[in-house]
Structure 1
């Protein structure tokens, strides 16, 4: 759509956009984004077709081939544009595609659009599957899980704080198994999708936030909390009650011990423990020394 189709915004130059994104994470062409500080100028790339900026930054964009909206509060205006388009039903999903071989509890709730369920999937009692959820083949979902829920993104829209409705996808690939009472959020925008790769196994009461990516054969223990935009590699062990901060990167074959609180990236094969988490051998050595002094 064109900026000129949206009322209530100060358009300096008209432009066309199809997608939304945040600077540094613009994944799709023809995206609209926002900027409020010069330090983010290096993140402007060819996928941005429209920008919301303040008066101070306007000179940086006047000679660029992109639409421009001027605002004293660019972030708020960006989300107001998004919310307006969402409210008008312009970010809807396609029709459901559910395999005849899937076993779905009569107590489950399936959204009326935007859901794909592959062959031989098993959906338990009281499962809620929201729009934008795509399940591969042989996916098993335990009782009371919620798939494709909105994540936690708060913005000021039309003067009041709101949890921003999500319009991305929640994708679970072949042979993923999730036990009971788990929540897997979908992506905030299209292209910011939550993706759980093949053969991932997830224990009870696990929270997976928006735009998380989990690699093949990873196992996640009960009570884990994985914050938004976190990337977990393949063959990783995430122990019970582990908390991962947002935008963390966990390498392949890593091991995160139970109860750890991870605030920094960890590399391939690294083993960490503690709150805040660091190298397991060092953690255990210091722990034993402390115990011996008691």
Structure 2
């Protein structure tokens, strides 16, 4: 794909200047670890260090373009624009209807010995359901979802829906299309009225690892990676792009901010608000969450 061709055919009110234009295969964030050549945006110089070798085009401001040329080894093309983030997501939304960008369409595939309620709603395309899967009444399974063998989706759960990603303009708020998917592993249980959003980019997925258990009324944002044997208790919220390592426990009503890494066998205890990554084996408590023993010590001192 070439930006020049895309920008000439889409409705766009932003002025831009293309320099050293290069082909790209998809859109991505600066730190995305994918094999495809990609176009990214930069609206802050602190992310310039994250530019990977597969990046061929950068949407950015004139000032950041100068910084990237002087301070990094990037040799690809630029699209210079005053609002690079906004233009980037306008391009993403425009490409929602491009077969070169989105996932190919296929007929939904159903495994053996499944128990699917007639009151469940399952997309007729782009869903793969493994063997011995249980899907209860009023569960919704959207396109681009994979559910592994022996997994359970309880009543009212919503899998693969549009997530909460919006961009402000001068006079409105623009919704960002979610074109990725959800992968649910083997022996997973998703309980009542939980919502798992699909990823934003076509190459990306929200993932729930094998044997993980998600309680009632949990929200899991786009592109979250929950690894194996994780338990997430009711009314918790996991922000987009967070990674939760194996054997971890997320307690009742906990909030985990977006883009964090929660380490292996860690604990985010009841009602905690985690705004920083959590180390392996670490237990955190409080709002904002800190190491559990320090939280208890502070509580005793305050009393």
Write out aligned runs for 1:1-294 (5 A).
1-8=1-8, 10-58=17-65, 60=68, 66-88=76-98, 90-95=101-106, 96-156=108-168, 160-290=172-302, 293=303
The Cα of 1:70 is off from its aligned counterpart by 2.5
Deviations, residues 38-65 of structure 1 (Å, cap 9, x unaligned): 3332222211122212233445569965
Deviations, residues 61-108 of structure 1 (Å, cap 9, x unaligned): 699653432222111111111111113454144312222432211111
For residue 88 of structure 2, give the secondary structure of its aligned residue in structure 1: helix
Task: Give yes or no for contact 1:16–1:67 (8 Å, CA) kept in 2.
Answer: no
Which position in structure 1 is the counterpart of 2:12? none
* Further displaced range: 19-28 or 195-204: 19-28
For residue 7 of structure 1, give the secondary structure of its aligned residue in structure 2: helix
Q: 1:222 to 1:135 in 2, by over 3 A?
A: same
Q: Matched residues in 1 for 2:82 and 2:237: separation? A: 36
Q: Matched residues in 2 for 1:38 and 1:273: separation? A: 33
For residue 138 of structure 2, give the secondary structure of its aligned residue in structure 1: coil
Q: 1:189 to 1:28 in 2, by over 3 A?
A: farther
For residue 281 of structure 1, give the secondary structure of its aligned residue in structure 2: helix
Q: Matched residues in 2 for 1:283 and 1:85: separation? A: 48
Task: Give yes or no for contact 1:93–1:113 (8 Å, CA) kept in 2.
Answer: no
* Further displaced range: 53-62 or 65-74: 53-62
For residue 266 of structure 1, give the secondary structure of its aligned residue in structure 2: coil
Q: 1:271 to 1:211 in 2, by over 3 A?
A: same
Moved over 6 A (4+): none
Normalising by structure 2, what TM-score? Answer: 0.87
Q: Matched residues in 2 for 1:160 and 1:12: separation? A: 30
Q: Matched residues in 1 for 2:169 and 2:184: separation? A: 31
Q: Matched residues in 1 for 2:271 and 2:45: separation? A: 39
Structure 1 unpaired stretches of 5+: none
For residue 7 of structure 2, give the secondary structure of its aligned residue in structure 1: coil
The Cα of 1:288 is off from its aligned counterpart by 4.2
Q: Matched residues in 2 for 1:73 and 1:4: separation? A: 17
Q: Matched residues in 1 for 2:102 and 2:265: separation? A: 38
Aligned CA-pair RMSD: 2.3
Task: Give yes or no for contact 1:26–1:48 (8 Å, CA) kept in 2.
Answer: no
Q: How many residues align?
A: 291
Q: Matched residues in 2 for 1:25 and 1:159: separation? A: 30
Q: 1:250 to 1:39 in 2, by over 3 A?
A: closer
The Cα of 1:158 is off from its aligned counterpart by 10
Q: 1:161 to 1:105 in 2, by over 3 A?
A: same
Deviations, residues 131-170 of structure 1 (Å, cap 9, x unaligned): 2111111110000111011222112479742221111121
